[in-house]
Amino acid sequence: FSAISQSTMPAYKLYYFSIRGLGEVPRQILALADVKFENVGITKEQWPEFKSKTPFGQMPVLEVDGKQIPQSFAIARYVASQHGLAGKTPFEAAWVDALADQYKDFNNDFKKFFYLVLGFGEGDLEAAKLEHGIPARDKFFPLVVKQLKSNGTGFLVGDSVTWVDVLYAEGSSRVAHEVPGFLDDYPEVLEHAKKIHAIPQIKKWIEARPV
């Protein structure tokens, strides 16, 4: 299916499976930026043919005037930088990027537990929680709390929302939802997610989103 967020011709098309996954952050950035886009859900049957048309054989891709940008972070940064959502100075933008990369590093380990939680792959869930879930969480989230406290504005960088706030809020709220109590030691992180998800354009997207 495809859901068109405005009634006029979209400038952008975002292609992904009909799940949140790696597509959700680009979708939320587009919504936050008030950018018209067509949210295209590719089915498993459609994927093999579509795959060969993408730059890296992966999704999400953002199509802009018929040309594709792959990789969810590149998409998020591209949309964000054109709509004042990537930091107010080059230095702030670099910090937004650094926080995003730090999240990626965390997720590379954490997903060895979290993908099992979501039902992908096979393995011993309890063992993965002890070996990957808990250590990755306790290495990463104290740094997030430290960043929020030292920045002091409720946002991760600067005094307004950036794409990395959206990334972290989606990540932390998803974890807290799928593994109840897992982030209870990090209330500042949960508060941050609530704050970001209360932003009107994001709130509206979350309420109306198909998945």
Contact positions vs another protein (CB under 8 A): 55-57, 64, 67, 69-71, 73-75, 77-78, 81-82, 90-91, 93-95, 97-98, 100-102, 104, 108, 143
Q: Minimal distance in Å, beta carbon 157 to another protein?
A: 11
Residues with Cβ < 8 Å from 121, sequence gap 6 or more?
115
Q: Minimal distance in Å, beta carbon 208 to another protein?
A: 27
Residue 200, CA distances (Å) to 18, 43, 65, 162, 196 in order: 23, 30, 28, 15, 9
Residues with Cβ < 8 Å from 202, sequence gap 6 or more?
28, 31, 32, 166, 196
Q: Minimal distance in Å, beta carbon 207 to another protein?
A: 29
Cβ closer to another protein: 43 or 82? Answer: 82
Q: How far apart are CA 60 and CA 75, in angstroms?
A: 9
Q: Minimal distance in Å, beta carbon 94 to another protein?
A: 4
Cβ closer to another protein: 2 or 102? Answer: 102
Q: Minimal distance in Å, beta carbon 81 to another protein?
A: 7
Amino acid at 23: G
Cβ closer to another protein: 75 or 166? Answer: 75
Q: Minimal distance in Å, beta carbon 196 to another protein?
A: 21
Cβ closer to another protein: 28 or 147? Answer: 147
* Tokens of residue 19, six digits: 């799940």
Residue 39, φ and ψ in degrees, nearest 5: -95, 95
Cβ closer to another protein: 81 or 160? Answer: 81
Amino acid at 104: K
Cβ closer to another protein: 93 or 189? Answer: 93
Residue 163, CA distances (Å) to 45, 72, 86, 96 in order: 32, 11, 6, 8
Residues with Cβ < 8 Å from 136, sequence gap 6 or more?
106, 109, 110, 113
